[in-house]
Structure 1
């Protein structure tokens, strides 16, 4: 992190969580956008991140060092209620990304990084047409770690205000954290499939699933490539229940 631990921050299963509403998160990110060349990383925490981080120390470190960690889905909300007795609002990656672009429009320079070749460009075109943002640059997410420095320098030289990094869990958060000092982007968010949604190559989950915070169920059910993630969700539920039992014994 760039400073002291955020006021109100809690720890959930060994990872930080900032219980802020979507509107409060957008306000905070807006403040950071007004601080040129002061880099900040944002993580939108979900159950898969927690389970993956338990076997990936580098991923865990990137999440622990993030400047803002929001609750992405209902699984985190449920876990916080079970283990911390807190009602944590949701601030998902799509809503943060779209909210910032809608709020700041032509005053916002955005770099779109990740997804398959062609998707970032399409997402940038759609976002520029919809929100009026300035496209600082684009690059696909299919590059080796040996090319990280080249891509980080490309982002730096484009001087964006906002970096949307869509390279999948762990890879995107580690990239943003490791290269934050090189890229110097005021706000960097790991956004997973957001570029696919913005480009039109994937559909946004139905409104009712998003209101309930269960859009992951809709995505897993409709995409066989995601079916291998279901066991992690089951493991997450077991982990929370085990921690809950341990709390009852203390």
Structure 2
């Protein structure tokens, strides 16, 4: 197995989807907490240029997967390494639930009121997972509401915590409370709960196969248009970066 890579001083674990899920399955029976981050171009720019705390959180993560073709392309161009594949948050979560079914206890956190509950019910019906609990993402990170929520999650004893609070906030929540939560697998998974709840559909399968899912989402949703500058900035940085010479 290849060693962990470093892209713009951020870690990337050279694992495909199956490799990621197998590692998570190895953590399921552990009493140690583990954080998972799905790295994409937007979060790289966000962490490096706008959010020093997020940068530290990414570097401290137990597993960092390549979420999207942008990271795969950057690793190839800058490090001359062919990653075995990509692993997005929604794919990691659904594949783990498919493989583990009733063996997996899941806590669903995030979204508007009602979304996490609907995602939990649908996941239980489709994959047979146990519902450890659910809660919405409308709480304050003020040391009061977030602490109460962390205690609620810990008391539910999930194997997996899906945290869908938006890029940055979800990763910080998992890292900040990891020792209090004691959850074996904590993953920041963006809009995963919206998809699991059925309120948002994934991009068509052809966009995933052609590796243009990111473009389809941005062009089809005006709310995502403000993310485009980060994508362009990442692309320019990779294009202008000097490749690392192999010894």
TM-score by length of 1: 0.93
- Structure-1 residue corresponding to 2:139: 143
Residue 177 of structure 1: SS of its match in structure 2?
Answer: helix
Q: Secondary structure at the residue paired with 1:117?
A: coil
Cα distance between partner residues in 1 of 2:61 and 2:213: 24
- Judge conservation of contact 1:74–1:212 (CA < 8 Å) in 2: no
Aligned pairs (5 A) from 1:5-16: 8-16=3-11
Equivalent residue number for residue 130 of structure 1: 126
| C-alpha distance in 1 between matches for 2:219 and 2:113 | 25
Q: Distance in 2 between matches of 1:125 and 1:105?
A: 13
Work out which of the residue numbers 233, 236, 246 in structure 2 matches 1:235. Answer: 233
Contact 2:2-2:14 at 8 Å conserved across structures: no
SS at the partner of 1:145? coil
Is the contact between residue 127 and residue 133 of structure 1 (CA under 8 Å) also seen in structure 2?
Answer: yes
Q: 2:36 maps to what in 1? A: 42
Contact 2:38–2:66 (8 Å) recurs in 1: yes
1:116 Cα deviation after fit: 1.1
Unaligned runs of 5+ in 2: none
Give the CA deviation at 1:117: 1.0
What's the counterpart of residue 188 of structure 1? 186
Aligned residue runs from structure 1 range 62-211, under 5 A: 62-88=57-83, 89-146=85-142, 147-211=145-209
What's the CA shift for 1:213? Answer: 3.1
- Name the SS of the counterpart of 2:36 in structure 1: strand
Deviations 1:107-151 (A, max 9, x none): 110000011111101100110000000100001111111121111
Note if contact 1:43-1:63 (Cα within 8 Å) is conserved in structure 2: yes
CA RMSD of aligned residues (A): 1.4
Contact 1:73-1:214 within 8 A present in 2 as well: no
Instruction: Report how many residues are paired.
Output: 241
Relative to structure 2, which stretch is displaced further, 80-89 or 206-215? 206-215
Extract structure 1 runs of 4+ deviating beyond 3 A. Answer: none
| Cα deviation 1:197-224 (Å, max 9, x = unaligned) | 0001111111122223321111111111
Q: What corresponds to 2:212 in structure 1?
A: 214
**Following the alignment from structure 1 to structure 2, what is the Cα–Cα distance between the partners of residues 238 and 134?**
44
